[in-house]
Amino acid sequence: MQLLWIIAALLLFIIQIASIIILEYRRSNKAIAWLIILFLFPIFGFLLYYFVAKEYFCHRTLRRKKNRHWESFKSDLIHRCKQRIAIDMVEETVCQEDNLHALLKNMPSIPITACNETTIYAEGEQAFEAMLESIAGARHHIHIEFYIIRDDNLGTRFERLLIRKAQEGVQVRLLYDGFGSRRLGKAFLKRLQDAGVETGCFFPPVAAFFDKRLNYRNHRKIVVVDGKIGFLGGLNIGDEYLGKDPAFGYWRDTHFSMKGDAVLWIQYTFLTDWYLVKEQIITDSVYYPVQESQGREFVQIVKSGPDETILELIFSLIVSAKKRLYIETPYFVPDPGILLALKTAVISGIDVRIIIPDVPDKKIVYYASLSYVQELLQAGARFYCYQKGFLHSKVIISDNLACSGSANMDIRSFCGQFELNAVFFDGKVIDRLVQDFFRDLSLSQEILLPEFEKRPGIQKMKEVFARLLSPLF
């Protein structure tokens, strides 16, 4: 009898292994990670896989939300933006005919927009003050979407201002991610709702778990005021983003405010997310006003998620570089294609420099990041650890183009999270981002290969284990 139980358990285990291999045969890295979890936790591991590893396209409810109305509206918006691009405004940068520019011009999601003005914020205090000032001046609507919202001092400032604007008759809509803002109390939301603020939770954790979509998180950070000014970047709403968390100290981030046609697409991103959560179609022209900006910057908003990944763009930025490739990221977990592209860039003689934090906020991700350092150092890349505090900035500079926003240089951001980035073509914006990069470089310590190879064996073991599980981060 005991032998039969052993045989049954063994058969069940084999079936679980076979299921993962069959379902993940297209994603071998994830298959290996899940098999490791299954071997470590035989029953629990498969249950975890069942609830969190389901492909995004398998969700019928999500597929139904791909409304034709949005596609028609997007086509009209694209046509409208193209009408605003005068022939004499088209700069040589946008018209280059290399593979990267061809990709950017032919991306199916959002086109290159003109008539933009961009302001860059390298610190949270400046960015938040600009957001709060813009919100205070709102006359018609305020749209806010963040991965993390905290009920702390900074969160209270936003809360009180949003309540005041709602009481003044301004339409206020707030979206937050169910997982990232899981600690946000009901009292905070109730105070907003009682004042007339509409709120929405992107995939509430419990419902998302049983609907097998817990693994898909909305990592975007958006503020749109009256459809005329938009904010995006790496900051969430919380005191730590002001450098007030003793565990991290100074918080280095990159955030942007924009005026011009790019704002229309930040707005479009928010309202499609609002539709996904609330099933409300909002396409009235008052939310997409004619932009008053007389700027001459070209900007492309890049909306990505499990159904429209940013991976192709990141890969193209790397392989198209001819002279320089500068990367800042809090999490460095490249997939095999990105890793090969970086090695190829280094071997080709391109100046590849990567800044990562010296102080980790997630140790397993930190060890996974370090596992990629040695082989890239051996290839000739240069790595630096930021020393002043925590580096949360997400920037890629490839020759005379830059990409920045909410997406990290990791597999989750590439394929599993809803992100919002911007590609910048304007020389002044690029120059400012390069200046910020070299300022961060001066506050960083370079990782030298001979010293790095001497790290303790226990750390190397942690790196190996973290790297094996990295496709699931």
Q: Active-site positions? A: 219, 221, 226, 392, 394, 399
Neighbour-count burial for 357-374, b at 16+ CB within 10 Å, e otherwise = bbbbeeebbbbbbbbbbb
Neighbour tally for 107: CB within 10 Å: 17
Neighbour-count burial for 433-449, b at 16+ CB within 10 Å, e otherwise = bbebbeebbebbeebee
Backbone region of residue 137 per phi and psi (left: phi > 0; alpha: psi in -120 to 50; beta: other values): alpha
Residue with tokens 């597999």: 411
End-to-end Cα distance, the chain: 42
C-alpha distances in Å from residue 149, one per residue of 25, 200, 246, 366:
37, 13, 19, 24
Number of H helices, E strands in the chain: 19, 19
Sign of CA dihedral 115, 120, 126, 128: positive
Quote the CA–CA distance of 393 and 331 in Å, as a whole number.
10
Backbone region of residue 398 per phi and psi (left: phi > 0; alpha: psi in -120 to 50; beta: other values): beta
Torsion of CA 277, 283, 289, 293, to 10 degrees: 50
Torsion of CA 181, 185, 186, 192, to 10 degrees: -80
Quote the CA–CA distance of 200 and 280 in Å, as a whole number.
11
Quote the CA–CA distance of 40 and 61 in Å, as a whole number.
33
C-alpha distances in Å from residue 81, one per residue of 74, 86, 272:
10, 11, 18
Neighbour tally for 55: CB within 10 Å: 13
Structure tokens at 278: 């609330």
Residue type, 255: H
Beta-bridged to residue 357, according to DSSP, are: 386
Quote the CA–CA distance of 367 and 373 in Å, as a whole number.
10
Query: Could you tell me which of 178, 193, 187, 109 has the C-alpha nearest to residue 146?
Result: 178
